[in-house]
């Protein structure tokens, strides 16, 4: 399950309830974290050699019970780690390949210790974002 960031919560409220324009990102980027990035975007993003955010795309929403769910519609492969990246436990979807705004965040079902020579991969459909 994903949690919306403070930035996204405010953007939604401003757009729908205050008729204010919100800039829509043209590309979304998946970032890996060593801890919870939090709604306030205060987590520690992976920074080891060979790491860079990867573009992510989603399929159409599907209603599951009382919530709408989207999931990644392409396999996401990070580059081979050129150094130890550490214990990757969380992810965040961001508006830019560097910097930008955090839109939402979540945790992986298991912590992955990414060491030199490893490749972090997320299969199609394994990263989901939902709204209730």
User: Are the C-beta atoms of residues 92 and 104 closer than 8 Å to each other?
Assistant: yes
List Cα–Cα distances, 84 to 35, 108, 117, in angstroms: 16, 18, 8
What is the share, in percent, of the chain residues with pLDDT greater than 90? 93
The residues, any chain, with a CB within 8 Å of residue 125's CB and separated by 6 or more, are: 71, 72, 73
- What residue numbers bound the domain in which 94 lies? 3-131
For 69, left (φ over 0), alpha (ψ -120 to 50), or beta?
A: beta
How many domains, in total, are found in the chain?
1
- Tell me the longest C-alpha to C-alpha distance in the chain: 49
Instruction: Express each pLDDT in 98-128 by its tens digit.
Output: 999 999 999 999 999 999 999 999 999 999 9
User: Are the C-beta atoms of residues 94 and 102 closer than 8 Å to each other?
Assistant: yes
Tell if the pTM clears 0.75, that is, is over it.
yes
């Amino acid at each position: 399950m994903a949690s919306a960031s403070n930035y996204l919560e405010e953007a939604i409220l401003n757009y729908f309830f205050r008729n204010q324009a919100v800039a829509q990102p043209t590309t979304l980027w998946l970032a890996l974290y060593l801890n919870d990035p939090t709604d306030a975007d205060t987590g520690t993003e992976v920074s080891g050699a060979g790491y860079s955010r990867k573009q992510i795309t989603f399929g159409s929403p599907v209603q599951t019970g009382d919530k709408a769910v989207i999931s990644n519609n392409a396999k996401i492969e990070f580059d081979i780690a050129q150094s130890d990246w550490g214990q990757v436990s969380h992810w965040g979807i961001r508006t830019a390949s560097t910097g930008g705004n955090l839109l939402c965040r979540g945790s992986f079902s298991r912590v992955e210790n990414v060491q030199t020579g490893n490749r972090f991969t997320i299969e199609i459909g394994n990263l989901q974002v939902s709204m209730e």
